[in-house]
């Protein structure tokens, strides 16, 4: 039996260029980059009618033509302007875009609310929000490998760099919830202090300019969603002696949102110790600070690492003698100095350490014992995905093991995000 490969599976890394064009910030194909064309096209397909401007309609037609040209390959078929225009008017009527819909995680048939997915990564926030009836109307992720994984699972290519105005221009004016697992960057408070000393007021633009959080705050300021849900590392609370979090908190409150935040541990839902801060905000113009929101109850681990392990894994995941010897010697050297640096051998009846984006290097933080006479092994990418709460029908094979490890290590714990999202959505939709 032959298996038909989809357009998405046929894409080569050359389709996701690494070279930077100094003028445009991206390598271009024709008028725009192929990845941006895919973003325009896939967003249009999933949100038919949401893109209204004449300029965006031209982009859609251009993207459809480019897609059809690539799909036909070397076949001697003419794609006329009239045909492209008809397809653009009603794309679903034409059986040309099935690859964007033959996906494991489609949009809900009857959405209850809309959301946007910033710093989207593997789409953990999207899985959570879709589980409660949410429809994603915009996604953004700069990493080309994460874009491929996201496209394979949701049929939508995320737009690229959210710090660029051209990317922000694709965000619909109205949506209900903003989701963002934004990276933490240091804030410079020197300029803020100087303005205060001169008796001048400072706004979030002064306080956060130059950081990725600024772009989150900027989008909240422009679009005024009903609510937002942000996730970050636990250390955000203590970074720069607490100044970083105070700037973030102050900026969000200045935008007239009431805040709820809590450090939560993923071990309530998956067999992994993973502490992250959850920040939920509600628009005071709508809820007046009277929303009845509460984070879900936190519990100690109820699952063990052995539940996510495959009985048979490829030998390539077993540590080589050289690497295993190195890790043991490294750990012993640091033990002799009185500190705890070293590998993490898992108790199969317990939980693991925190999975990191560097796991692909040696797997040292989470090693699986394999019995006497055998070196331990690292988790497979599928096992890492399970450790983050992704279901087994989530597609991982669009990228290499190295990239899959990185994406899992950078991801959110899906069932934790889903549990918090349930409370957020229930509060937002309450009469």
Count of CB atoms situated within 10 Å of the CB of 43: 25
Give the strand pairing for 275-283 and 367-368.
unpaired
How many residues are given for the chain? Answer: 431
Count the helix, strand and coil residues of the chain and give each as a percent rounded to the nearest 5.
Answer: 45, 10, 45
Per-position DSSP letters for 17-30, written without gaps between them: -----TTTSS--BT
Catalytic residue IDs: 184
* Contact (CB, 8 A) for 229 and 278: yes
Q: What is the DSSP string of 332-388?
A: HHHHHTT---S--B--TTS-B----TTHHHH-TTSEE---TTS--EEPPHHHHHHHT
If we measure between CA atoms, which residue out of 70, 69, 40, 71 comes closest to residue 57? 40
Identify which of 255, 258, 170 has the alpha carbon closest to the alpha carbon of residue 216.
255
């Amino acid at each position: 039996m032959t298996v038909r490969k989809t357009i998405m599976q046929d894409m080569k890394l050359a389709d996701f260029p690494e070279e930077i064009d100094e003028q445009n910030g991206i390598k271009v194909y024709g008028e725009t980059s192929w990845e941006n064309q895919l973003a325009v096209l896939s967003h249009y397909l999933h949100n038919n009618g949401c893109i209204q401007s004449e300029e965006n309609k031209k982009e859609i037609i251009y993207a459809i033509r480019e897609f059809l040209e690539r799909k036909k390959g070397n076949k001697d078929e003419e794609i006329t302007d009239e045909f492209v225009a008809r397809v653009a008017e009603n794309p679903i009527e034409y059986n040309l875009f099935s690859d964007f819909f033959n996906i494991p995680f489609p949009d809900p048939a009857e959405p209850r609310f809309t959301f946007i997915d910033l710093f989207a990564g593997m789409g953990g926030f999207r899985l959570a929000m879709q589980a409660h009836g949410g429809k994603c109307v915009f996604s953004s992720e700069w990493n080309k490998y994460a874009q491929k994984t996201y496209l394979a699972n949701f049929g939508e290519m995320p737009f690229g760099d959210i710090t660029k105005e051209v990317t922000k221009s694709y965000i619909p004016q109205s949506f209900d919830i903003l989701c963002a697992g934004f990276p933490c960057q240091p804030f410079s408070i020197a300029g803020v202090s100087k303005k205060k000393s001169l008796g001048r007021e400072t706004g979030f633009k002064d306080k956060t300019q130059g950081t990725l959080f600024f772009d989150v705050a900027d989008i909240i300021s422009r679009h005024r969603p009903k609510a937002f849900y942000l996730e970050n590392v636990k250390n955000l609370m203590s970074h720069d002696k607490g100044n970083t979090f105070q700037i973030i908190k102050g900026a969000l409150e200045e935008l007239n949102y009431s805040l709820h935040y809590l450090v939560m541990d993923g071990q309530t839902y998956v067999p992994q110790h993973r502490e992250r801060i959850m920040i939920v905000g509600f628009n005071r113009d709508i809820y007046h600070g009277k929303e009845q929101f509460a984070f879900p109850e936190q519990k100690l681990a109820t699952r063990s690492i052995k539940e996510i392990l495959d009985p048979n894994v490829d030998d390539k995941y077993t540590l080589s003698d050289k690497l295993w010897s190195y890790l043991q010697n490294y750990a012993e050297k640091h033990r002799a100095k009185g500190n705890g640096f070293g590998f993490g051998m898992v108790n199969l009846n317990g939980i693991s350490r925190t999975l990191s984006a560097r796991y692909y290097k040696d797997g040292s933080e989470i090693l699986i014992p394999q019995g006497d006479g055998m070196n331990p092994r690292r988790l497979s990418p599928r096992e890492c995905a399970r450790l983050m709460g992704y279901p087994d029908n989530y597609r991982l094979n669009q990228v290499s093991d190295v990239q899959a490890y990185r994406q899992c290590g950078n991801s959110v714990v899906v069932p934790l995000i889903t549990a918090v999202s349930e409370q957020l959505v229930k509060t937002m939709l309450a009469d």
